[in-house]
Amino acid sequence: MRSMMGRKLGHFVDLTDRDEQLLAYMLRSQTLFVGAGQDMIREGTRPTFVKIVMEGWAARYKILENGRRQIVGFLLPGDLCIPQAIMTMRLDHSIAAIDDLHCAMVHPEQLDAIEQESINIRRALAMDAQISLAIQREWTVNLGARAAPERIGCLICELYLRLKAVGMTEGSGYFCPLTQIDLAEAAGVSTVHVNRVIKQMRRADLIQWREQFIEIPDPLRLAQACGFRPSYLQMPF
């Protein structure tokens, strides 16, 4: 039984059985539960544990003076929400549970010890951090240079691939707990507009979305329609 994190890291580096064991043991530590819609951690605080998503989705977000809320990233199972390096700093953003959320809480020293023992894990985590950065850059591109339909299409593609990397897709679809409101806050458009865009995409048979399940009839066609290129995830389609 591999962990989600093990699955993800396994795409970058060949993990030995021992590596997988180390990860699985680490993740079997104390878990944190956060109910849907609740904040997991607030801007301005100093985190004390490394935290890793085990089950459910979360969103990193910031709130502006004008009251607008911008989601700057989604956290899926296997994702590291709080890395060690940030522990001495004040957090510049908050994290909210979208779904009911289960996180592993790991002592920074324990993670250090594991990285000490396994070069593979150390490398894989470093690469994972670089990919997180690449994702954040891609979001910047998305918001800065694409129109609303492409933005939303690219987001849906990204989530598809990231979920596939941890084995959480079903055929060419996936369970998606996001509301149109969440999607609007991530895509930087109004909910009304998200609604209209989704409607168009349904009409064009690019996606089907009902009852928290997104089905992509033809992933390549969707990717082409919205200009999605997955190279930043270091994955093929």
Q: Which does 198 bind (CB under 5 to 8 A by kind): a copy of itself, DNA, none?
A: DNA
* 69 touches a copy of itself (CB under 8 A): yes
User: Min. distance of Cβ 173 from a copy of itself in angstroms?
Assistant: 25
* Phi, psi dihedrals of residue 207, rounded to the nearest 5°: -140, 160
Strand intervals (E) in 35-181: 39-41, 50-55, 58-63, 69-75, 80-82, 94-97, 101-106, 169-170, 173-175
* 137 touches a copy of itself (CB under 8 A): yes
Task: Look at residue 214 and give its three-state secondary structure.
Answer: strand
User: Min. distance of Cβ 169 from DNA in angstroms?
Assistant: 20
| 31, 70, 110, 180: residue in contact with DNA (rule CB under 7 A) | 180
* 134 touches a copy of itself (CB under 8 A): yes
Q: Which does 89 bind (CB under 5 to 8 A by kind): DNA, a copy of itself, none?
A: a copy of itself
* 153 touches DNA (CB under 7 A): no
**Residue 55's closest CA among 168, 186, 185?**
168
Query: Which residue's CB is nearer to DNA, number 113 or number 204?
Result: 204
d(CA 81, CA 24): 17
* 204 touches DNA (CB under 7 A): no
CA angle at 151 for the pair 66 and 201, rounded to the nearest 5°: 120
* 132 touches a copy of itself (CB under 8 A): yes
* Residue recorded with tokens 């458009």: 189
Q: Decide: 197 and 214 in contact? Cβ < 8 Å.
A: no
Q: Which residues pair with 33 in a beta bridge?
A: 102
Point out which residues bind a copy of itself (CB under 8 A): 44, 60, 62, 64-66, 68-70, 72-73, 83-86, 88-90, 92-93, 123, 126-127, 129-130, 132-134, 136-141, 143-146, 186-188, 227, 231-232, 234
Point out which residues bind DNA (CB under 7 A): 147-149, 179-181, 188-193, 195-196, 198-199
